[in-house]
Structure 1
Amino acid sequence: MIMDIDWENLGFKFMPARSNIRFHYADGKWDDGTLTGSYDITVSVAANAFHYGQAIFEGGKAFRCKDGKVRIFRPEENGRRLNRSASHLLMPEFPVDKFVEAVKTVVRDNADFVPPYGTGGALYIRPVMFGTTPQIGVGASLEYELIIMVVPVGAYYKGGIKPVDAMISRDYDRAAPHGTGHIKAAGNYAASLISSKQAKERGCAVALFLDPATHTFIDEFGTSNFLAITKDGKYVTSESDSILASITNNSLMTLAADLGMPVERRKIRASELADFAEVAACGTAVVLTPVGRIFNGDEVIDYHFTEIGPQLKKLYDEMTGVQVGERPDRHGWLTEI
């Protein structure tokens, strides 16, 4: 059994669970993996990941559902996206079926760390792959580790979802044109930290990035995709080569279509922001974060919401309902452990 956990007051922060699962790549192949209770690693100070940035990660969740069973949300999509990231950074791909089984194994071994149904919590799943070969010259690593750890996390918002303020980053870009913005590379998030700091200094929760080539179109928020609801009820999200293909956004677009909402993935001009009815950031950690105001230099775009907007609320309830088994899983997104 595990130590007593205050399920009602879990935050979104690191907490060691019982185990993580680790795989090592050498001589052109991955090993069979090992469950371990250790949260430490031993690598050379010259490891590739420290010097040349071969490091990628993923984020997923497992839920204790209404019927008491534990299910994982779309793990195969995380496996596919991990491989797209790996391919771009010349890292070895990991078989998707093996990835799903590994996630099931580590979730099963930590099943008592999955927050109870009704608390709003989940077991966060964090796979991370990094190059370990000691090297001074620039080049791809020869050996790699893939570690899948799990962390119990609580409801992101206590007392209901409240809109946050966002600031358009004009001084910095999150990614370069034709760069790594479309993959889940660790360095992308380091590059967004300074804009996030600027946003917080202005009282905003998140930074919103424009396309790095022209600074004309909306790309995404520092940690999540951008979506908007138009005044005539369309779901609109950014199309760009420099943003991550969000599994949450993809799922929300599917659910929006199920609910009869027209869905558009297209280039969105920054000048359109004032014309939207509702705006949100979407990602694994929270599903949807409604945006109440956007600061663009001296301009303030106010959507006049003190609570989540009606269309976003409908989408949020549908998504979270599917994840915990309160609503039908019409698309086969849940994998039982």
Structure 2
Amino acid sequence: MRIHGMAPALNYGQQAYEGLKAFRTPNDEAITIFRPNRNAKRLQHSAEVVSMPHVPEELFLDAVRAAVALNAEYVPPHDTGAALYIRPQLYGSSAQLGLSPPDEYIFAVFVIPTGVYHGAHPVKALILEDFDRAAPNGTGNAKVGGNYAPVLRWSDKARDEGYGITLHLDSVRHEEIDEFSTSGFIGVKDNGGQVTLAVPDSKCVIESVTSDSIQELARSYGWTVEKRAIKYEELKEFTEVFAAGTAAALVPIRSITRRVGGGEDVVTYIKDGSEEPGPLFEKLLTHLKDIQLGRADDSFGWRYPVGEKDKEIAGAPGGRNGDATTVDQMD
């Protein structure tokens, strides 16, 4: 795919993207996509944030289904637990010198097989004190590249120091939890069987599809779900903490470290030397994966089937991968 060097996507960051997955059901009988309708709505929101037109939900769903159907041979077998990662993109593509809306936008969908990400191994988290992911009333609630590129150097630095993930506090006072750099934050309290899930209510975080799914599962168990401000001091009250995102699904957090006054404040959830995540994490992740892989009843209506008919879109009469790659072909 070619793009002009003066495109707003390359010069002004006018782009948005999504991430979702397709899975094979048991015995490789069918292929389904997990909750693509939610990604369609989120892309519309992101597009609005960076001044681009909406991609209609029906077009988004047709394009995603087509990309999967035309590349069905690359969807990993069910028994591997792996998936086909789907990356829809929307960006300003026409040559544009001034800072004004371009004449052309491209909506494209790419796919690539992906293995089982991270697994369920606990990771240490480091709170970033010297870098704020997003500003109040800024772009933090949109899935745009500008929210991710700046954090790369900080994530690499943290990784070199033994931290597998970084966590952001609110950028105004550094008092409340926002989210992990690439995942949503979920804190869990287990008070003698009375379980409460807490997720941040912040204008600076994206609406995580995985986190929303976990919240729905929790409600189905009769657990309490709270979407509210989470103070830093509350971290020590959680029984378990995990990061929720498309790539890794759920990742258990071993500990959260904050560097203050020349020292370190560490909250530990899983002791060093143990690779066993907590029981609530195990219950939620197992149920989520069972739904995604077709091993459990889909009472929520989250699985969207993909079939041969989904190859039959305008511009792809022969049905082969590579045919459905431009806006014109998707009209």
Per-residue deviation at 1:142?
2.1
Per-residue deviation at 1:102?
1.1
Q: TM-score, normalised by structure 1?
A: 0.85
Q: What's 2:2 paired with? A: 42
For residues 247-266 of structure 1, the aligned pairs below 5 Å read 247-266=209-228
| 1:187 matches 2:146 | yes
Q: Deviation per CA, 1:273-318: give whole Å up to 9, x if none.
A: 1111100100001110000011111111111342111001100001
SS in 2 for 1:230: strand
| 1:324 matches 2:293 | yes
| 1:78 matches 2:44 | no
Distance (Å, rounded) in 1 between the aligned partners of 2:154 and 2:166: 6
SS in 2 for 1:265: strand
Residue type of the partner of 2:48? S
SS in 1 for 2:108: strand
Q: Deviation per CA, 1:85-117: give whole Å up to 9, x if none.
A: 111111011110111111111111111111001
SS in 2 for 1:234: strand
Q: What's 2:322 paired with? A: none
Q: TM-score, normalised by structure 2?
A: 0.87
Per-residue deviation at 1:197?
2.3
Q: What's 1:56 paired with? A: 16
| Alignment gaps of 5+ in structure 1 | 1-40
Q: CA RMSD in A?
A: 1.1
Distance (Å, rounded) in 1 between the aligned partners of 2:207 and 2:270: 29
Of 196, 200, 203, the residue aligned with 1:234 is 196
SS in 1 for 2:58: helix
SS in 1 for 2:26: coil
Of 99, 116, 120, the residue aligned with 2:60 is 99
Over the matched positions of the two proteins, sequence identity in percent amounts to: 40
Q: What's 2:283 paired with? A: 314
SS in 2 for 1:316: helix
Which 10-residue stretch deviates more, 135-144 or 264-273? 135-144
For residues 52-201 of structure 1, the aligned pairs below 5 Å read 52-67=12-27, 68-157=29-118, 161-201=120-160
Residue type of the partner of 2:116? A
Q: Is the 8 A contact 2:270 2:277 kept in 1?
A: no
**How many pairs align?**
295
Per-residue deviation at 1:138?
1.6
Q: What's 1:5 paired with? A: none
| Alignment gaps of 5+ in structure 2 | 307-331
Per-residue deviation at 1:194?
2.8
SS in 2 for 1:43: coil
Q: Is the 8 A contact 1:231 1:275 kept in 2?
A: no
Distance (Å, rounded) in 2 between the aligned partners of 1:59 and 1:252: 17
| 1:304 matches 2:270 | yes
Q: What's 1:222 paired with? A: 181
Q: Deviation per CA, 1:4-36: give whole Å up to 9, x if none.
A: xxxxxxxxxxxxxxxxxxxxxxxxxxxxxxxxx
Q: Is the 8 A contact 2:124 2:254 kept in 1?
A: yes
Q: Is the 8 A contact 2:126 2:258 kept in 1?
A: yes
**Structure 1 ranges of 4+ moved more than 4 A:** none
Q: What's 2:303 paired with? A: 334
